[in-house]
Structure 1
Amino acid sequence: MADGLFNEEDDDEAPEVLYEHFRFTADPNQSLLRVDKFLIDRMTHTSRNRIQLAADAGYVRVDGVPVKNNYRVKPGDVVTIVMARPRHAFEVIAEDIPLNIVYEDEDLLVVNKPAGLVVHPGHGNYTGTLVNALAYYLRNLPNYDPNDPRLGLVHRIDKDTSGLLVVAKNIDAKAHLSRQFFEKTTQRCYQTLVWGIPKADEGHIEGNIGRDLRDRLRMAVYPPGSEEGKWAATNYRVTERLGYVSLLTCQLETGRTHQIRAHMSHIGHPVFNDARYGGERILKGRPTGSYRQFVQEAFDTCPRQALHAETLGFVHPTTGKELFFTAPLPDDMQGLINKWRTYCANNT
């Protein structure tokens, strides 16, 4: 039995749905036993360390409730392991899709993903994804199985967000990197263009993020401590004010689905051209004919949410060396920013 244990970060764009992969029911005569020991006795093709990593990430549950490694299993307990993808839901097909690889060694590689590329198969996108591209690129690596969740993507970003992702080539690298994301020791900064001008040069947004009860395709922000959603925090800094929009650098303290997009919309500054959160409409500025035409041209210049995962830093899982990568703004976002700069220069 393949164990499939890994810690997948609740990345800014990662799905919240979890799927059951393993289920064990404790016997009526079960003596009190730590849950990690209970599972290692029943899962012969995994290690206690990986079970502990799964528990740290909230993937080990008893009667549906996440438990820590020191939880003692008692008679009748139902112990399950859940993950962020269905078990054997599909076979990943290798496809020759170009990749922009900014770094690679024996343990990992870092990819600069273009906007428009879906990261993982599913939800109607079973081919043409980054995972399919990785399956082809790593097809000659003997131990790389694209269908094994213990390998590959450590975190995710949304289809229409561009920028950096780290990929693990082996099980140990995946476990080590995933722990860094879970413990929030990685460094991740995004560049985004948002509607409006924040009052302060720097800001901190804190609020639980969970599915919108009225629209399951959106995330909503709930008060800290709420029973809805998970705690999330975003720091932002205004790097440039451009008339009716602002260029921000956002640093994640947590990684939740649509975190930056939901948080910025929550404070009244939706990401420019973000159709899911209302940023595809004119939200600032006097709607004259010429201004409406300019904004439409700006939408056409960057026909997706203006969000880019610019920097990524982590500790190498084997060498212990700190690595840090930067991906320059893609042409569509750079063109959008230049367009607003020109507009401001001509209208001030």
Structure 2
Amino acid sequence: MEKESEAQIYEVAFCVEPNYAGWRLDRYLAEKIRRLSRTRIQRIIREDLVWEGPRQLKPSTPVWPGLTFRLRRRRDPEPVCERDFGVAYEDEDILVVDKPAGLPVHPTARYFHHTLTAVLRERQPQGEKWDIAHRLDRETSGLLACGKRPEITRRLKDLFSRAGAVRKEYLALVHGWPEEDEFRIDLPLALLDHPLKVKMGVVPDGKEALTLVRVEARFERDVPWRGPKLALVRCIPVTGRQHQIRVHLAAIGHPIVGDKIYGPCDRYFVDFAEGRLDEQARAELVLERHALHAAVLAFPHPRTGETLRVEAPLPADMNALLLPEASTASG
């Protein structure tokens, strides 16, 4: 038992770079660990900072170039999530998976074994190296293209990095009924100076961002936040900014159902991560995750050059909200 307890503690080393000279220690760490709030960082400094210097480092201590210290961290058990995935397309060169919501793509501070990267590594045949060519947020379900060999993966990554080379279509369930059936959202985006270090927003001098939207269905459900009107929309991101579709839809008054950052209250993001989301919050969110699904990928095959179009059906949780009668009948 003692070994197991000790194994959960690890240390992360930091060495202050010259450009941070004079910054408060808590501000420096907030810049380095963007997912944590300033209050949380101040507590870590007081309780878990290791430094062999002559005096205690405090949150307000100005840092200097070359200052070296360590943070003791406890590695919590990985959250349980779905580790399986569907195969939407496969040939000798590529694999397009249908990722379930909740499965992270790459390792993070909270996830290592429960990631798509780890699952692919477990399943790849000898002599192949399956690698993911692009990204999806953990809560977003749907299509991800993977190369089976390094040279194929390089070509795929090059395709996905080029504007207009890959067509992506997403399906989202949103609050409210958009007035028009088809429209454009052309609003510049940038990372905000916000306690949630990952939060994006519409900023006049931000990066260009364009999303094309088409309403697929309007319907009503008994939901407690923003009234009964909901819609299924198809979104085509022309640009590829972080959280682009989520921020754009929220900015025009139609946030995605279940969005813990851009929906009812951005505090829900931290509450969920720390396991203290209350019943009111769960009711307002409606779903356990944001209702965004990568439904279509279309791109030139990296070896043959022929256009490949792959589709993934709407997942069960989104379909149950859209068509509850069909969901009940099938269950």
TM-score (norm 1): 0.59
The answer for the alignment partner of 2:86 in structure 1 is: 100
The answer for the alignment partner of 1:210 in structure 2 is: 190
Q: Which has the higher contact order (CA 8 A, sep 6+)?
A: 1
Q: Secondary structure in 2 aligned to 1:336?
A: helix
Which residue of the other structure, out of 246, 260, 264, is the alignment partner of 1:275?
260
1:194 aligns with 2:174: yes
Over 3 Å counting, the alpha-carbon distance change for 1:238 and 1:280 in structure 2 is farther
Q: Assess if the C-alpha contact under 8 Å between 2:88 and 2:311 holds in 1.
A: no
For 2:325 and 2:282, the matched residues in 1 are separated by 12
1:208-261 residue CA offsets vs partner (Å, 9 max, x unmatched):
2221212313111222xx1x4x32211001111114111101011112211110
**CA displacement at 1:299 relative to structure 2:** 4.9
Over 3 Å counting, the alpha-carbon distance change for 1:297 and 1:340 in structure 2 is farther
**CA displacement at 1:113 relative to structure 2:** 0.3
Q: Assess if the C-alpha contact under 8 Å between 1:190 and 1:310 holds in 2.
A: yes
**CA displacement at 1:326 relative to structure 2:** 0.8
**CA displacement at 1:340 relative to structure 2:** 9.8
Q: Assess if the C-alpha contact under 8 Å between 2:259 and 2:285 holds in 1.
A: no
Identity of aligned residues (%): 37
1:195 aligned partner, one-letter code: H
1:296-338 residue CA offsets vs partner (Å, 9 max, x unmatched):
77955x3211111111111111111111111111110000112
Q: Assess if the C-alpha contact under 8 Å between 1:113 and 1:163 holds in 2.
A: yes
The answer for the alignment partner of 2:62 in structure 1 is: none
**CA displacement at 1:279 relative to structure 2:** 4.3
For 1:250 and 1:321, the matched residues in 2 are separated by 24
The answer for the alignment partner of 2:232 in structure 1 is: 247
**Aligned residue pair count:** 224
Equivalent residues in 2 for 1:133-144, closer than 5 Å: 133-138=119-124, 140-144=125-129
1:144-175 residue CA offsets vs partner (Å, 9 max, x unmatched):
2xxxxxx6111111111110000012222122
1:265 aligned partner, one-letter code: A
Unaligned runs of 5+ in 1: 1-95, 145-150, 282-292, 343-348
1:117 aligns with 2:128: no
Over 3 Å counting, the alpha-carbon distance change for 1:240 and 1:254 in structure 2 is same
TM-score (norm 2): 0.62
Over 3 Å counting, the alpha-carbon distance change for 1:233 and 1:322 in structure 2 is same
Which residue of the other structure, out of 156, 159, 163, is the alignment partner of 1:180?
159
For 2:100 and 2:167, the matched residues in 1 are separated by 20
Over 3 Å counting, the alpha-carbon distance change for 1:98 and 1:246 in structure 2 is closer
2:213 aligned partner, one-letter code: Y
Q: Secondary structure in 2 aligned to 1:176?
A: helix
The answer for the alignment partner of 2:320 in structure 1 is: 335
Q: Secondary structure in 1 aligned to 2:102?
A: coil
The answer for the alignment partner of 1:221 in structure 2 is: 202
Q: Secondary structure in 2 aligned to 1:175?
A: helix
Q: Assess if the C-alpha contact under 8 Å between 1:117 and 1:129 holds in 2.
A: yes
